[in-house]
Structure 1
């Protein structure tokens, strides 16, 4: 059984993280790549620039952000790559840069990964 955890890029890596996957389009400001211990950077699984700017980490926009982001991910081939990594590694930690640990794209990704994939028509 796969386990998907979440962790801020600014928190120290730990062995319990398993495979660390950065899921933001932008590299977290001030984080050295050598210190981050990122196994894979899936830029394309992050929200579009337009959606990220619209959301601006405003908790009042959270329900709509979740819907819009899920719609972007529905036809995003990077989601298949993320699912494959989760299946392959079992223990995966999605790494994100946002300060808000409850309202960010990694939370949406974890929730989507917890559901069975929808078969395409």
Structure 2
């Protein structure tokens, strides 16, 4: 879900920002973010590589490798526990959310 959209009752138990950087033009109050686990976001290096023209398939592979690191894996586990309690909405400011890290996270949480 785009961070710029208004919160909806269907958002569920938690609204989680999954971007490393806070999106421009949105106040923290207006965003209604419950959690911002920066350790689950792609590293600055990976993010720059991808936005510099890297392929989505390779980005996905590298990002999944980053998520396998102990700190990220622990955060991912915690987010999975939230998902088991009810719907969690992943928020991103990405202009192409279907080909973003949010889609990778959603797939890992669903699987």
- Alignment TM-score, normalising by the size of structure 2: 0.89
Q: Is the 8 A contact 1:8 1:96 kept in 2?
A: yes
**Greater share of residues in helix:** 2
1:101 Cα offset (Å)? 2.0
- Alignment TM-score, normalising by the size of structure 1: 0.82
The alignment of Structure 1 onto Structure 2 pairs a total of residues equal to: 107
1:55 to 50, 54, 58: 50
Runs (4+) off by over 6 Å: none
Q: Is the 8 A contact 1:45 1:78 kept in 2?
A: yes
CA distance in 1, matches of 2:45, 2:38: 15
Is structure 2 residue 29 aligned with structure 1 residue 34? yes
1:48 Cα offset (Å)? 0.5
- The CA RMSD over aligned residues, in Å, is 1.4
Gaps of 5+ in 2: none
SS of 1:102's partner is helix
Aligned to 1:44: 39
1:28 Cα offset (Å)? 1.0
1:57 Cα offset (Å)? 7.3
1:24 Cα offset (Å)? 1.2
Gaps of 5+ in 1: 1-6, 116-121
Q: Is the 8 A contact 1:57 1:103 kept in 2?
A: no
**Greater share of residues in strand:** 1
1:11 Cα offset (Å)? 1.3
